[in-house]
Amino acid sequence: MPSTLDPRTKLFIGFTAIVVVLITERAVTLLAESFLLLAGLALFGVAGAWKRSLPLILPMVGLVFVISLLSYDLTLASLLSLRLLNLLTVSFVFFQKITPEEVGDAVRKCGLPYAWSFIMTASMRYVPLISRRIRQIVDAQRSRGIDLRPRLRNVPNYIALLMPLLAQSFLLSEELAMAMESRGFRVKGRSFRKMYRIGAWEIALMVLCLVATIIFAFWERG
């Protein structure tokens, strides 16, 4: 998605892409979507980042496949796991091409109160921050001889990860609260740094995406 698009346009395109994946039922269509998504990863320049995220994506897909295989049959298990892979890939591309600030601005422009959009933006910004803190704690504890690798025998050692992480989370929340208070978070009449305006071509693009999604839904369901 080009960076010049209005955040609301990006949000709408991402939503329609997720809907398309969710309503897909046939295996051939899911496979075609997978190839299109792989091409999209290369087109948007996020293929390398997607490969680095596979250690997180593949275990979830594998777990869904195993549970579905035990509950249903091989065909349905394959369909569910492939749909989940496509859904995670679409979400990955979406969040790679839109910043947390743009998501907050988009939902605020759609009518969500500023406090709620701020909560959404802050949570999205804190996810990578907490991930970095976890890696730092793991490295620090490993240097002290505490093994935190994902093994069954290391489960008792996880307290050495959880306690520092909990303490740092409280410190981060306190710092955020103090920063919000010092900047007058509750003051009314707030102004914003960026002013967004949807152009006519963006409206046409959203209408085109909506019409294409409706046509695809009727075609997919025969």
Same domain, 111 and 173: yes
Q: What is the pTM of this model?
A: 0.72
Same domain, 22 and 75: yes
- The predicted-structure confidence for 68-78, as pLDDT tens digits, reads as follows 888 888 888 88
Give the number of domains in the chain.
2
Structural domain that includes position 108 = 101-191
Q: Can you give the length of the chain in residues?
A: 222
Checking if the pLDDT of 127 tops 70, the result is yes
Checking if the pLDDT of 2 tops 70, the result is no
pLDDT at res. 179: 83
Same domain, 54 and 129: no
Q: How many Cα atoms sit within 13 Å of 10 on the Cβ side?
A: 25
Q: Average pLDDT, whole number, for the chain?
A: 84
pLDDT at res. 1: 56
Question: Residues 185, 186, 192, 197: is their CA dihedral positive or negative?
Answer: positive
Same domain, 81 and 131: no
Same domain, 67 and 148: no
**How many angstroms separate the Cα of 35 from the Cα of each of 31, 32, 89, 210?**
6, 5, 11, 22
pLDDT at res. 204: 92
- The predicted-structure confidence for 146-155, as pLDDT tens digits, reads as follows 888 777 787 7
Checking if the pLDDT of 185 tops 90, the result is no
Checking if the pLDDT of 4 tops 90, the result is no
pLDDT category, 191, cuts 50, 70, 90? low
